[in-house]
Amino acid sequence: MKEASVDHAAAGARVNGRPRLFGGRRAQLGVILTALLVLAGVIVLFSLTTDQRGQGFGLSGEGDAAAYASLGTQGPTFDSATSLVQALADRGVTCEGLESRPAGSGELDAGRCKIGADDVVIRVFQDPGARNRYLASIGALLGEAGVESVPRVAGPNWLVSADTDATAQLVQDSIAGELLR
């Protein structure tokens, strides 16, 4: 009579004299995948738990946004990324290949284009308050991460981010706003 096969690698079994905590490789892979899914869930939860003012987990509040209230008040307002790109073109600055991007919270429109070799991201907000909340939120996140922001130009209801100081300066010289570094 043949002896029944015994799984010696079951959870709690000893392998090479040491206890095996999570069973075989499949079980270990399952634990790793579960941990990654939990981490992804936390990230998604964080991104979805912002209220309509753009606040989330205390990273941006009205008090923080108030610090940006006097920023970039000079200059035109725009109703779309296209109208901002047209204003640049009217002043001799070409932003090529404008592509629409999904508008975020408080944004009317968003787009991406190139000025020279620089990638440029354009955000047009519903009002100055939405722009201020966005700046406070991004400032808090970058500060916590210890990362510097890219050069930006802020207008009354818009924000242009560029790869270099020179391109941000060109945008400011063309349509006003305030240079942020």
Helix, strand, coil distribution of the chain in percent, nearest 5: 40, 20, 40
| Chain segment 20-66, per-residue pLDDT in tens | 555 566 656 656 656 555 555 445 444 443 333 333 333 334 458 88
Angle between helices 81-90 and 165-175 (to 10 degrees): 80
Looking at domain 62-180, its CATH class is alpha beta
The arithmetic mean of pLDDT across residues 131-135, rounded, is 95
pLDDT at residue 1, rounded to an integer? 55
Domain ranges within the chain, ordered by starting residue: 14-48, 62-180
In whole angstroms, what is the distance from residue 64 CA to residue 23 CA? 50
Which pair of structure tokens corresponds to residue 21?
Answer: 């905590």
The CA dihedral of 97, 102, 106, 108, to the nearest 10 degrees, is 50
In whole angstroms, what is the distance from residue 129 CA to residue 137 CA? 12
| Chain segment 104-121, per-residue pLDDT in tens | 999 999 999 999 999 999
pLDDT at residue 18, rounded to an integer? 60
H helices present in 16-161, as ranges: 25-48, 62-66, 81-90, 128-145
Q: How confident is the model at residue 15 (pLDDT cuts 50, 70, 90)?
A: low
Q: Minimum mean pLDDT among 30-34, 68-72, 161-165: which range?
A: 30-34
DSSP designation for 79 = S
In whole angstroms, what is the distance from residue 93 CA to residue 85 CA? 8
What is the residue-averaged pLDDT of the chain?
79
**Smallest Cα–Cα separation from 101: which of 93, 110, 92?**
110
Beta bridge partners of 152: 161, 180
